[in-house]
């Protein structure tokens, strides 16, 4: 039996809880999403985040900047939001146009407002296992595993991908939950041999349909982070239908990790506002 994990349902639960707590606050938390340029996928994601902000009873402090904006102009917007006491969280949507330096811009976000968990400061707190704001997508994956009762302690977790947005923080968080963690990337020599040893397999490679039946140990939990827009709709990095009867749990795309990313962003914004 293979369970399809309903990320949308778990996400709605998290968001309802955040909204209930927001309703008790004397001041509404404010989240600033910053969208630079006209990448259509980014526009969809930011629209989803803004809708969640409104539904949580928070203030939407969205900023749009044209693709031609300079590094200095983006920095000025970030500095203004950093100084604004009504702004509790700042999210700079990635990817940025190629002439901008994302690392330098992200690091202008004060640690207390870093609801995306992507600054050098937040990454350092995660590496040291200290309290801080954590990246939303890997937090959402941990939440999904916990909600399904998947045991992390002592499990062999394999993370495919090592980006600072997903794979790397994912591996660190699984390590903090006492999993034994392996991280695969483009130079991994035999991907299938490694992934077949995984009790928990998190795939964030950005390669459509990379992972199939030949990569999965019977009884494993398989989490598909990948998102790709095709003429036939959204698809992930995992050939999910092949895993029926093999994996114990799999996440669908859409309706798996994506909605959790947005839910954890709401949770992080509430946390940032409380501090």
Ligand X SMILES: Nc1nc(=O)c2c([nH]1)NC[C@@H]1CN(c3ccc(C(=O)N[C@@H](CCC(=O)O)C(=O)O)cc3)C=[N+]21
Ligand Y SMILES: NC(=O)C1=CN([C@@H]2O[C@H](COP(=O)(O)OP(=O)(O)OC[C@H]3O[C@@H](n4cnc5c(N)ncnc54)[C@H](OP(=O)(O)O)[C@@H]3O)[C@@H](O)[C@H]2O)C=CC1
Burial of 26 (0-12, 13-18, 19+ CB in 10 A): exposed
- Taking Cα atoms as reference points, which of 89, 80, 21, 17 lies closest to residue 49? 89
Q: Does 112 engage in binding with ligand Y (CB under 6 A)?
A: no
Question: Site mask, ligand Y, residues 70-109, x = CB under 6 A?
Answer: ----------------------------------------
Residue in 93, 119, 235, 240 binding ligand X, rule: CB under 6 A: 93
Q: Measured from the CB of residue 150, what is the shortest distance to ligand Y in angstroms?
A: 18
Active-site annotation, residues: 49, 93, 116
Burial of 24 (0-12, 13-18, 19+ CB in 10 A): exposed
Q: Does 257 engage in binding with ligand Y (CB under 6 A)?
A: yes
- What separation in angstroms does the CA of 139 have from each of 11, 241, 245, 259? 12, 25, 27, 12
Residue 162, annotated as binding a ligand: yes
Q: Name the pairing type of β-strands 221-224 and 249-250.
A: parallel
Residues 126-165 that bind ligand X (CB under 6 A): 136-137
Cβ-Cβ contacts under 8 Å for 217 (sequence gap 6 or more): 196, 197, 198, 199
Q: How many Å apart are CA 131 and CA 135, to the nearest integer? A: 13
CB-nearest residue to ligand X: 258
Residue 188's region, left for phi above 0, alpha for psi from -120 to 50, else beta, is beta
Residue 275, annotated as binding a ligand: no
Residue in 162, 215, 239, 271 binding ligand Y, rule: CB under 6 A: 162
Question: Site mask, ligand X, residues 28-67, x = CB under 6 A?
Answer: ----------------xx--x-------------------
Q: Measured from the CB of residue 258, what is the shortest distance to ligand X in angstroms?
A: 2
Q: How many Å apart are CA 100 and CA 259, to the nearest integer? A: 28
Residue 255, annotated as binding a ligand: no
Q: Does 165 engage in binding with ligand Y (CB under 6 A)?
A: yes
Q: Does 235 engage in binding with ligand Y (CB under 6 A)?
A: no
Where does this chain touch ligand X (CB under 6 A) — which range of 87-95, 190-198, 201-209, 212-220? 87-95
Q: Residue 82 or 207: which CB sits closer to ligand Y?
A: 207
Q: How many Å apart are CA 211 and CA 160, to the nearest integer? A: 10
Q: How many Å apart are CA 220 and CA 201, to the nearest integer? A: 7
Residues binding ligand X: number (CB under 6 A):
19
**Beta-carbon count within 10 A of 216 CB:** 23
Q: Measured from the CB of residue 204, what is the shortest distance to ligand Y in angstroms?
A: 4
Residue positions forming the annotated binding site: 161-163, 227
Q: Which residues are annotated as a binding site for NADP(+)?
A: 161-163, 227
Residues in the site for ligand X, rule: CB under 6 A? 44-45, 48, 91-94, 116, 136-137, 227, 234, 253-255, 258-259, 261-262
């Amino acid at each position: 039996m293979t369970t399809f994990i309903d990320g949308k349902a778990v996400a709605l639960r998290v968001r309802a809880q955040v909204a209930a707590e927001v309703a008790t606050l004397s001041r509404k938390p404010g989240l600033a999403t910053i969208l630079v340029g006209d990448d259509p996928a980014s526009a969809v994601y930011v629209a989803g985040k803004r809708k969640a902000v409104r539904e949580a009873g928070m203030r939407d402090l969205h900023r749009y900047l044209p693709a031609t904006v300079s590094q200095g102009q983006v920095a000025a917007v970030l500095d203004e939001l950093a100084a604004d006491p009504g702004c509790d969280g700042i999210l700079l949507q990635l990817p940025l146009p190629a002439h901008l330096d994302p690392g330098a811009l992200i690091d202008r976000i004060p640690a207390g407002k870093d609801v995306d968990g992507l600054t050098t400061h937040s990454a350092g707190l995660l590496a040291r296992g200290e309290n801080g704001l954590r990246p939303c997508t890997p937090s959402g994956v941990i939440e999904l595993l916990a909600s399904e009762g998947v045991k992390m302690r002592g499990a062999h977790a394999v993370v495919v991908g090592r980006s600072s947005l997903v794979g790397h923080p994912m591996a660190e968080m699984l390590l903090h939950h006492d999993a034994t963690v392996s991280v695969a990337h483009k130079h991994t020599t035999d991907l299938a041999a490694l992934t077949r040893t995984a009790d928990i397999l998190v795939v964030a490679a950005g390669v459509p349909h990379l992972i199939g039946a030949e990569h999965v140990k019977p009884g494993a939990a398989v989490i598909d982070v990948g998102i790709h827009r095709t003429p036939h709709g959204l698809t992930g990095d995992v050939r999910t239908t092949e895993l029926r009867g093999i994996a114990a749990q799999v996440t669908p795309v859409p309706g798996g990790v994506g909605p959790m990313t947005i839910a954890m962003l709401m949770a992080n914004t509430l946390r940032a506002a409380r501090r």
